[in-house]
């Protein structure tokens, strides 16, 4: 039988493997876009995001160890929530196809994507991340990580969405950078 305190590490390991799969998908898609004449926007800030998300994993693991973290909800409920959020995430990835990326990649002349969650929600993948970052540590009572990175992630996403909207504008989408929430981010940007 698995010790209850081990569930946080099992959860983090599974989530880490999922994130590595995303990095592989993004790398393949980046190469595809670059070979067709696309380019990256706001590259240095992408590294900041990767760093913050890496710190989130470390903070979550450290706090779980220091607290002797136990799941605060039934494991079936935890699994159901995580699977639901990952299903939504991969719906976004599938909707954007080769244009999905963890970086801001623009391919001039690419058509707008108008299906999947992008039909109804602005920045659906970021909405998922906005929920995940504080929720997962909170499931294990890691309140410091949930609060700190929940707030930090709001700042990161606000800046990132502004950068994406500038990239959309440069690609001729007519997205006004002054109001990043006005744009429907439905194409080749995550």
User: What's the pLDDT score for residue 186?
Assistant: 37
pLDDT at position 70 over 60 = yes
Query: CATH no. for residue 157?
Result: 1.20.120.1630
Q: How large is the average pLDDT for residues 140-155?
A: 98
**Tokens 């240095």, residue?**
44
Overall domain count for the chain: 1
pTM of the model: 0.87
pLDDT at position 180 over 50 = no
CA distance 137 to 51: 18
- Quote the mean pLDDT of the chain: 89
pLDDT digits (tens, 9 = 90+) for 3-59: 888 999 999 999 999 999 999 999 999 999 999 999 999 999 999 999 999 999 999
User: What's the pLDDT score for residue 173?
Assistant: 52
Give domain status of residue 178, yes or no: no
Of 91, 65, 75, 89, nearest in space to 11 by CA: 75
Give domain status of residue 190, yes or no: no
Give domain status of residue 110, yes or no: yes
């Amino acid at each position: 039988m698995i010790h209850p305190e081990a569930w946080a590490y099992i959860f983090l390991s599974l989530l880490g493997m999922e994130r590595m799969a995303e990095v592989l998908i993004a790398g393949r898609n980046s190469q595809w876009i670059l070979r067709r004449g696309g380019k990256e926007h706001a590259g240095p800030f992408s590294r900041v995001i990767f760093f913050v998300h890496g710190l989130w994993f470390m903070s979550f693991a450290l706090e779980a160890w220091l607290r002797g973290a136990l799941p605060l909800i039934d494991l079936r409920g935890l699994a159901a929530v995580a699977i639901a959020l990952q299903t939504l995430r991969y719906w976004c990835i599938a909707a954007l196809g080769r244009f999905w990326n963890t970086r801001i990649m623009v391919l001039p002349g690419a058509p707008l994507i108008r299906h999947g969650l992008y039909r109804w929600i602005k920045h659906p993948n970021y909405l998922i991340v906005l929920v995940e970052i504080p929720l997962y540590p909170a499931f294990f009572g890691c309140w410091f990580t949930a609060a700190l990175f929940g707030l930090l992630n709001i700042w990161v996403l606000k800046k990132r969405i502004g950068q994406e909207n500038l990239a959309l504008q440069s690609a001729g989408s007519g997205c006004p950078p002054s109001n990043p929430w006005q744009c429907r981010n439905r194409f080749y940007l995550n």
